[in-house]
């Protein structure tokens, strides 16, 4: 989620100013009066392949906030696909609305029609507020959807694979910070007990970590805390906890000017997209503070790897094996950052950009 302050600051910018800032290729505004659909599909970069990225449904406080979110998220997908070695570009979509109240078959199928009209330039999947069942409705209108239920020959919910990759990245970050990748006895705070958060907590529990958890939804929080013996903490309290590892698993932008000074952890490793409100400012602030930051787009790529493998012929074992490599890639990024005196987000972006540039050149001739 983007802070309202940031959105206000950007009100003076036109849509094209925002789109050109990070060189996005295409933004599609989808509207349908009958179903009440208001959605934005955003394609950031298609040098490596079609833009694949999930659809998020969220009660944004303004359209500007939704646009800002989808621009940031789609750009993140470009980096995620590139660093994971996938032949995919970056895209994302947001539907403005309350996923618990406003979602229905007609709205999702209408949204599917808009995706169909993009002729495969954009492929959707699940994100916050969406389920495999929703993908089924979208599939009724377009083939450009991944993350379908297993009963339909799809790869099912990507969340367990996302959680596994995040866990691998967390272990690599622990190795860097503490000299051992064991999480036994480590205090880990998880912000967001949603799909990925809960699977991550399950993995942490198996390794006997001491888990703290918070969420906006009380019921979900109670359920997850009871199931895995995680201690419930407040939504604000999580930033002040004396923990080893802070794991943002809700929405983005939680690492910012208001929170960095409060953090007492040595490692940040979570699945949320766009955790740094400002990549350069806050990436650098974490480095100065001596916090090992595992770049989000690198360690949360398991879900993308999973939905990508659905497109090329799904094999669950292969998807997990590829996701496991995130451990080594994360250590490589830490090494690169140290060698080049940059923060870890910068190093990961550099690695991804290098691949986009070199493969772009490969494809420059017929
Ligand atoms: P989800 O909707 O199932 O869960 C998110 C949870 O976070 C919700 O329960 C929500 O109430 C909670 N939350 C949001 N903001 C919060 C805050 N400030 N404090 C506490 N709780 C908060 O979503 P998900 O699929 O688990 O995804 C979580 C994050 O991981 C998102 O940023 C998503 O973009 C990212 N991600 C998900 C996948 C995937 O496979 N689902 C893959 C890569 C990245």
Residue by residue, DSSP assigns 193-244 as -SHHHHHHHHHHHHTT-EEEEE-S-HHHHHHHHHHHTPEE--TTGGGG---S
pLDDT of residue 14: 86
Domain end, chosen from 152, 181, 196, is at: 152
366 assigned to some structural domain: no
292 assigned to some structural domain: yes
User: Is residue 122 located within the same domain as residue 251?
Assistant: no
User: Is 103 an annotated catalytic residue?
Assistant: no
pLDDT of residue 29: 98
Place of tokens 């787009």: 297
pLDDT of residue 11: 59
Give first-to-last CA distance, the chain, whole Å: 41
Residue nearest to ligand 1 atom 1, measured at CA:
194
pLDDT of residue 225: 98
**Distance between CA atoms of residues 184 and 204, nearest Å:** 8
SS3 285: helix
pLDDT of residue 365: 84
Domain end, chosen from 152, 181, 204, is at: 152
76 assigned to some structural domain: no
Q: State the pTM of this model.
A: 0.91
User: Is residue 334 located within the same domain as residue 203?
Assistant: yes
pLDDT of residue 200: 98
CA 167 to ligand 1 center in whole angstroms: 15
- Residue 291 in tokens: 């916090």
Query: What range defines the domain where residue 283 resides?
Result: 159-301+328-352
CA 252 to ligand 1 center in whole angstroms: 9
Written as tens digits, the pLDDT of the chain (366 aa) is 334 444 444 557 888 888 888 899 999 999 999 999 999 999 999 999 999 999 999 999 999 999 999 999 999 999 999 999 999 999 999 999 999 999 999 999 999 999 999 999 999 999 999 998 999 999 999 999 998 988 888 998 899 999 999 999 999 999 999 999 999 999 999 999 999 999 999 999 999 999 999 999 999 999 999 999 999 999 999 999 999 999 999 989 999 999 999 999 999 999 999 999 999 999 999 999 999 999 999 999 999 999 999 998 899 999 999 999 999 999 999 999 999 999 999 999 999 999 999 999 998 888
pLDDT of residue 364: 81
**Distance between CA atoms of residues 67 and 134, nearest Å:** 22
**Distance between CA atoms of residues 42 and 221, nearest Å:** 32
User: Is residue 63 located within the same domain as residue 105?
Assistant: yes
Task: For residue 129, give the ligand 1 atom closest to its CA.
Answer: 2
**Residue 63: CATH number of its domain:** 3.40.50.10860
- Contact 291/132 with Cβ under 8 angstroms? no
Buried b (16+ CB within 10 A) or exposed e, 213-223: bbbeeeebbee
CA 193 to ligand 1 center in whole angstroms: 7
**Residue 196: CATH number of its domain:** 3.40.50.720
Could you tell me how far CA 42 lies from the centroid of its own chain? 15
User: Is residue 38 located within the same domain as residue 140?
Assistant: yes
Q: What's the domain count of the chain?
A: 2
Q: Are strands 187-191 and 210-214 parallel, antiparallel or unpaired?
A: parallel
User: Is residue 336 located within the same domain as residue 222?
Assistant: yes
User: Is residue 201 located within the same domain as residue 338?
Assistant: yes
Residue nearest to ligand 1 atom 15, measured at CA:
250
| Torsion sign, CA atoms 195, 198, 202, 203 | positive
User: Is residue 185 located within the same domain as residue 279?
Assistant: yes
Angle at 301 between CA 340 and CA 208, to 5 degrees: 95
81 assigned to some structural domain: no
Q: Where are the beta strands (DSSP E) in the chain?
A: 26-32, 37-45, 51-52, 55-58, 89-96, 122-123, 187-191, 210-214, 231-232, 245-248, 267-268, 292-293
Q: Are strands 210-214 and 37-45 parallel, antiparallel or unpaired?
A: unpaired
**Distance between CA atoms of residues 93 and 71, nearest Å:** 9
Express each pLDDT in 18-64 by its tens digit: 888 889 999 999 999 999 999 999 999 999 999 999 999 999 999 99
Neighbours of 155 (CB within 10 A): 25
Task: For residue 157, give the ligand 1 atom closest to its CA.
Answer: 40
Place of tokens 């009660």: 59
User: Is residue 142 located within the same domain as residue 187?
Assistant: no
pLDDT of residue 21: 86
- Name all residues whose Cβ lies below 6 A of ligand 1: 126-129, 158-159, 162, 191-197, 214-217, 220, 235, 249-252, 271-273, 300, 303
**Distance between CA atoms of residues 61 and 297, nearest Å:** 25
Angle at 150 between CA 97 and CA 321, to 5 degrees: 100
User: Is residue 180 located within the same domain as residue 255?
Assistant: yes
């Amino acid at each position: 989620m983007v802070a309202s302050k940031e959105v206000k600051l950007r009100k003076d910018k036109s849509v094209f100013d925002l789109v050109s800032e990070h060189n996005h290729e295409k933004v599609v505004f989808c509207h349908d009066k009958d179903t009440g659909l208001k959605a934005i599909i955003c394609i950031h970069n298609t040098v490596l392949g079609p833009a694949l990225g999930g659809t998020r449904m969220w009660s944004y406080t303004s359209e500007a906030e939704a646009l800002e979110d989808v621009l940031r998220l789609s750009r993140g997908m470009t980096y995620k696909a590139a660093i994971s070695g996938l032949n995919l570009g970056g895209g994302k979509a947001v539907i403005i609305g309350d996923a618990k109240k406003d979602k229905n078959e007609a709205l999702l199928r209408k949204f599917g029609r808009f995706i169909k009209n993009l002729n495969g330039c954009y492929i959707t999947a699940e994100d916050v507020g969406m389920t495999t069942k929703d993908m089924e409705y979208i599939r009724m209108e377009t083939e450009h959807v991944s993350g379908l239920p297993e009963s339909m020959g799809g790869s099912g919910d990507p969340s367990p694979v996302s959680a596994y990759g995040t866990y691998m990245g967390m272990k690599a970050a622990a190795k860097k910070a503490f000299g051992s990748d064991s999480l036994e006895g480590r205090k880990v705070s998880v912000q967001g007990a949603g799909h990925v958060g809960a699977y991550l907590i399950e993995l942490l529990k198996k390794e006997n970590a001491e888990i703290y958890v918070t969420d906006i939804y009380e019921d979900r929080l109670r359920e997850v805390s009871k199931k895995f013996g995680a201690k419930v903490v407040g939504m604000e309290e999580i930033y002040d906890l004396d923990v080893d590892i802070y794991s943002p698993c809700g929405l983005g932008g939680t690492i910012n000017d208001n929170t960095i000074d409060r953090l007492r952890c040595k490692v940040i490793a979570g699945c949320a997209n766009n955790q740094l409100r400002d990549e350069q400012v806050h990436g650098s602030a974490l480095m100065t503070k001596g916090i090992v930051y595992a770049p989000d787009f690198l360690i949360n790529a398991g879900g993308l790897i999973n939905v990508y493998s659905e497109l090329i012929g799904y094999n669950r074992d292969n998807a997990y094996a590829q996701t496991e490599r995130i451990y080594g890639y994360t250590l490589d990024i830490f090494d690169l950052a140290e060698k080049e005196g940059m923060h870890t987000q910068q190093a990961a972006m550099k690695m991804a950009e290098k691949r986009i540039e070199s493969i772009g050149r490969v494809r420059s001739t017929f």
